[in-house]
Structure 1
């Protein structure tokens, strides 16, 4: 199983686990941020060892679905993806999309979030 598929498998497990929790949105945010930070660490380790890496689109997808705080923390802790300008631009755009989607979801369906 490739690293990319494994990342999305964990994303699916996090979604199912959060759906079964008492506060699904809060659990989702917790799980996705921890998972995103771990994925950044795994990608940094793979980069150092010259192994197969996690695609940038996967890192951006994790940030877009709510894991951007974990991504920022992972970038700072592991010193990963902090200098690559095209990625930083796309990452900032993914943060805007994530916050906008969360705000729209809260506006139209506030009972779902909390």
Structure 2
């Protein structure tokens, strides 16, 4: 697998994890929130694992069925895509 893909995935997942933490803090303090749309975009762009870890770490979005079901689904799609790319480029 190309090194740039690994770096990209590390960066996007770190950003998504941080966004989940920031949104949780804003929710606790009643501040203006980060939209679910933004979190979904980050997840779909490769940050689904960071989103999932953020959900578990911060106990955030765990009551939203779309996140509870959707994020693991996106992770599985991304893993299938990565496996396909890894084997097809070999």
* TM-score after normalising by structure 2: 0.78
Aligned residue number for residue 85 of structure 1: 65
CA distance in 2, matches of 1:73, 1:93: 14
- Once the two structures are superposed, residues 40-69 of structure 1 have per-residue CA deviations (whole angstroms, 9 ceiling, x without a partner) of 001101111222222222212222222222
Aligned-residue RMSD, C-alpha: 2.1
Match of 1:61 among 33, 37, 41: 41
Is contact 1:63-1:98 (8 Å) kept? no
**After superposition, what is the alpha-carbon deviation per residue over 1:56-111, rounded to whole angstroms, capped at 9, x for unaligned?**
2221222222222222221122111122223222223322332233233334445x
2:78 paired residue number: 98
| TM-superposition CA deviations, 1:6-56 (whole Å, max 9, x none) | xxxxxxxxxxxxxxxx92111112111111110000110111122222222
Normalised to the residue count of structure 1, the TM-score between the two structures is 0.64
Equivalent residue in structure 1 for 2:18, among 13, 38, 41:
38
